[in-house]
Amino acid sequence: MGIIVLLIMVSSPIWILIDLLFKKESFLRFYGRAENHLKSKWIAIPAIGLVIINWIWNICKGL
């Protein structure tokens, strides 16, 4: 999960800067669509479940 967060944290500011330079709103549209998809219970519940499983796994490993 750390790799995914790293990719998002690196690419988002670059994407926003490009949108500002070219006066576009592609990041805002993408963010809105992603947020709407994540609100769906068919995606939100498994995603939350994966985070909880990962959290339990790390506790059991002593991390």
Helices (H), the chain: 2-22, 26-39, 41-61
What is the distance between the terminal CA atoms of the chain, rounded to a whole angstrom?
Answer: 15
Number of separate domains in the chain: 1
**To which residue do tokens 């519940």 refer?**
45
Q: What is the mean pLDDT of residues 13-31?
A: 96
Q: What is the pLDDT of residue 2?
A: 81
Q: What is the pLDDT of residue 22?
A: 96
Q: What is the pLDDT of residue 38?
A: 86
Range of the domain at 35: 2-61
**pLDDT, tens digit, for every residue of 24-59?**
999 999 999 999 988 888 998 998 999 999 999 999
Q: State the Cα–Cα distance between residues 23 and 16, nearest whole angstrom.
A: 10
**Structure-model confidence comparison of residues 62 and 19, the more confident one:** 19
As a whole number of Å, the CA-based R_g of the chain is: 16
Residues contacting residue 16 through CB under 8 Å, at least 6 positions apart: 27
In this prediction, residue 62 has a pLDDT band, given cuts at 50, 70 and 90, of confident
